[in-house]
Amino acid sequence: MSTKKRFDRAYKNAGVIEFDDTSKFVLFSDCHRGDNSFADDFANNRNTYYHALKQYYKTGFTYCELGDGNELWENLHFKSIFDSHKNIFLLLKQFHDEGKLHFIYGNHDMVYEDEAVIKKHYDTWLDPDLEEEVPFMPNLKYHEGLILRHKQTGQELFLIHGHQADWWNYTFWKWSRFMVRVLWRPLQVIGISDPTSPAKNNFELIKVERRTKKWIADNNNRFTIIGHTHRPRFPEPGDLAFFNAGSCVHPRSITGIEIEKGKIKLIKWYVDTTEEGVLKVVREVLEKPQKLIDYQLKH
């Protein structure tokens, strides 16, 4: 199956979320939540991510995760991930309980194509206070793609992980997972990266971006937001409408995309110090807000 067919199929089967200028979304990608071991890339940013997520919850944002949320290539069991980052999953549950949680699967959590796996991981949990299994996130859904559709303008924003442009990590993801578990995870601990990952190999990254750009251009500059490569992208209106939320496993920061008041912006959260030497988590706008309507498709 070609890149075009993979993207076309994901778009055709995408879930639709209607929104307007009062809606607020935050989009993060590639959290790669692991087991808090030396190989857990997420561990360094877990407190930054948790603080950011709390602020978004308090201010009424809807959370969209664009794939590779859980690192299910390096880790055999979801329970080890859940136990390591329980506070984060409990916060995600609060979004879910209010209908403000939307998950997309990527290559590292592609097992969520199977609803049975989603149910196994998320339907219930062992409540330590009650000492019994209770509902956790029942009826949670994972999508290959999502479409945010503006109620008034009809403008569509297509959200997808992006591994559809990476035939090896899409078609042969089970083989890639095997190689990561037996070879690259142990080597990662001593600083050797997986060369097949577009996030760690510039040649692969450029190929993924080139294929994605071609699909967007061939579809009348369809507004598309991906993750996968970990490289943030934020075009100006009039340019190819190809966005990337970046990742939550940058060395000392997390990046994401906010949509609010009919505008879109690229943001970063990181740890900084005050003049008094106190560490604090701060938010920075990397790219100034742009009106969504300025990227509207021209027919």
pLDDT in tens, 79-93: 999 999 999 999 999
Q: Between 175 and 282, name the one with better pLDDT.
A: 282
Q: Are 248 and 32 in contact (CB under 8 A)?
A: yes
Q: What is the pLDDT of residue 183?
A: 62
Q: What is the pLDDT of residue 65?
A: 98
Q: Is the pLDDT of residue 213 over 90?
A: yes
Q: What is the pLDDT of residue 178?
A: 62
Q: pTM above 0.85? A: yes
Q: What is the pLDDT of residue 229?
A: 95
Q: Is the pLDDT of residue 194 over 90?
A: no
Q: What's the whole-number average pLDDT of the chain?
A: 91
Least confident of 10-14, 72-76, 218-222: 72-76
Q: What is the pLDDT of residue 202?
A: 76
3-state SS assignment for residue 235: coil
Q: What is the pLDDT of residue 127?
A: 86
Could you give the percent of the chain with pLDDT greater than 90? 78
Which residue in 134, 135, 73, 138 sits closest to 109, CA to CA?
73
Supply 99's token pair: 């209908």
Confidence of residue 170 (pLDDT cuts 50, 70, 90): confident
Confidence of residue 139 (pLDDT cuts 50, 70, 90): very high
C-alpha span between 119 and 141 (Å, rounded)? 9
Please report, for the chain, the start and end positions of each structural domain, with discontinuous segments joined by +: 3-295
Instruction: Give me the helices (H) in the chain, please.
Output: 3-12, 46-58, 78-84, 86-97, 115-122, 167-171, 173-179, 185-189, 202-218
Q: CATH: 3.40.50.300, 3.40.50.1220, 3.60.21.10, 1.20.120.530. Which one for 3-295?
A: 3.60.21.10
Q: Between 128 and 42, name the one with better pLDDT.
A: 42
Q: What is the pLDDT of residue 193?
A: 58
C-alpha span between 270 and 284 (Å, rounded)? 8
